[in-house]
Amino acid sequence: MPDPLKILFLSAEVVPFAKTGGLGDVGGTLPIALRALGHDVRVVMPAYRAIETDYYAGRGGLVARPGGLLVPMRGVGRPAGVYEGRLPGSDVPIYFIAERSLFDRPELYGYNDDAYRFAFYSRAALELTQLLGWRPDLLHAHDWHAAPAVTWLATAGQADDRFRGIGSVFTIHNLAHQGRGPWELMNDLGIITHGLLEETFGQLNFMARGIYHATLINTVSPNYAREMLTGPGGAGLDGLLRYRQNDVHGILNGLDYELWDPATDRRLPAHYTSAEPDGRQANKRALQARAGLPQLDDVPLAAMVTRLDWQKGLDITGHVLHLLMNDYAGPAQFVILGSGAAEYEAMLANLAGYHRGKMAAFLTYDAALAQLIYGGSDLFFMPSRFEPCGLGQLMAMRYGSVPVVRATGGLADTVHDALTGFTFLEYSSAAFWDAVQRAVYIYKVDRPSWQAMQRAGMQEDFSWARSARGYQQLYEWALMRMKG
């Protein structure tokens, strides 16, 4: 095993403490998988309102570190509290930066001073290492919220004996949120540097800064790492990403294979494995009953579980559902669970009303029903417009529902056409429908091939242990780079 590394891990979201998307899953699970590889990982996040009320004052078992911190902002120490605890089920330390005027608010994000809030959090996290008497080998910063730490380390930090020589890995989860703010924040952080082309005069862009200043950069799938370098996929930062393209990597997110296991999942009526998949049939019947559909064993039951968002390809889905529900590929059933944009909710409610008894739409968020869908459906659709990694298809494969996906981002890396699922490339209803027809045909006329695909998907390894090994490799490369 390589030498254990000391990793300062900065994520604005960490399950179970705070989550709005995939970032939270990574923040809460990757550190534990890295710890299992022997590394000394310490996580730092802001003490949002839920931390203050549910975990600190409540039953969460966090303790305040005496003395707290003085965070250097504009040359003056601004006080902050530090709470500490462990990531649940592990011995990974987690620290919370407590500054009530900045973080004790109803939402995690969406405020005018977000750029300042996360600049403060980032700088505080670096200062915290001094309080702990712990010098990290590397900073691992996630998304724009932690990018100020990357920038500080690469500029002011190199003139500070306490931090000189510490490199950074910057992970991009969502290029759509870039963290723009006034240039004055550079003065707050004590950083002297030049503007980037991606920054309009007087403004800074923390996502661009993270990309520019990090020792190495990665995103959450190899294919998305390539797509980011192109105009359509780069969200305005493709030029900068191409400038750094030799340092841009892709590492797939993982699934918690203990939590997501059809052999033990308590939310499923019947358990099964890839060797003994028969339990799926009982789950299919339970799902049909829940959705008000006839309990037919040999009719393919297709499904989606998704945010109803522009990203997710719903505008090419309507026509495909119309064809599928009108039996153009033979009898079929369809269930969707999702909430979000009103126009998609209306479209799905209309279709479900029209095709009552064949299709059901649950326009809500329901984690237990999601599991029943993964464990009871035959086909799982993900026609995304773009998808940095995607978790839905990983869960579907783990639970034996064969995915039909658009070959974009992480979907293209994880679903192999005619081996573990069905893929299409062009973003159109015609291409999507073509893939659906192929899937339904195999389901109906070649059950042994169908079952082989199901098994192959269930046997794939998308565990965090695999991802953690990828990050370990990236850390080693970053350290080599810093040593010259």
Task: By CB under 6 A, name the binding residues for ligand ADP.
Answer: 21-22, 305-307, 337-339, 365-367, 370, 390-392, 395
CB nearer ligand ADP, residue 241 or residue 305: 305
Tokens of 26: 């990574």
Nearest to 390 by CA among 210, 237, 227: 227
Q: How far is the CB of 157 from ligand ADP (least distance, A)?
A: 32
For residues 175 and 299, what is the distance between their CA atoms, to the nearest angstrom? 40
CA–CA distances in Å: residue 20 to residues 16, 23, 24, 167, 341: 11, 8, 7, 28, 16
CB nearer ligand ADP, residue 134 or residue 365: 365
CB nearer ligand ADP, residue 366 or residue 417: 366
CB nearer ligand ADP, residue 27 or residue 390: 390
For residues 175 and 219, what is the distance between their CA atoms, to the nearest angstrom? 10
CB nearer ligand ADP, residue 354 or residue 365: 365
Residue with tokens 């994880």: 414
Q: How far is the CB of 366 from ligand ADP (least distance, A)?
A: 5
CB nearer ligand ADP, residue 360 or residue 395: 395
Q: Give the residues across from 255 on adjacent strands.
A: 463
Contact present, 306 and 420 (Cβ < 8 Å): no
Contact present, 433 and 323 (Cβ < 8 Å): yes
Q: How far is the CB of 220 from ligand ADP (least distance, A)?
A: 9
For residues 125 and 36, what is the distance between their CA atoms, to the nearest angstrom? 23
For residues 122 and 209, what is the distance between their CA atoms, to the nearest angstrom? 13
CB nearer ligand ADP, residue 93 or residue 390: 390
Contact present, 392 and 291 (Cβ < 8 Å): no
439 CB contacts (<8 Å, ≥6 apart)?
A: 300, 379, 402, 404, 422
Q: How far is the CB of 380 from ligand ADP (least distance, A)?
A: 10
Instruction: For 483, list phi and psi in degrees, rounded to 5.
Output: -75, -15
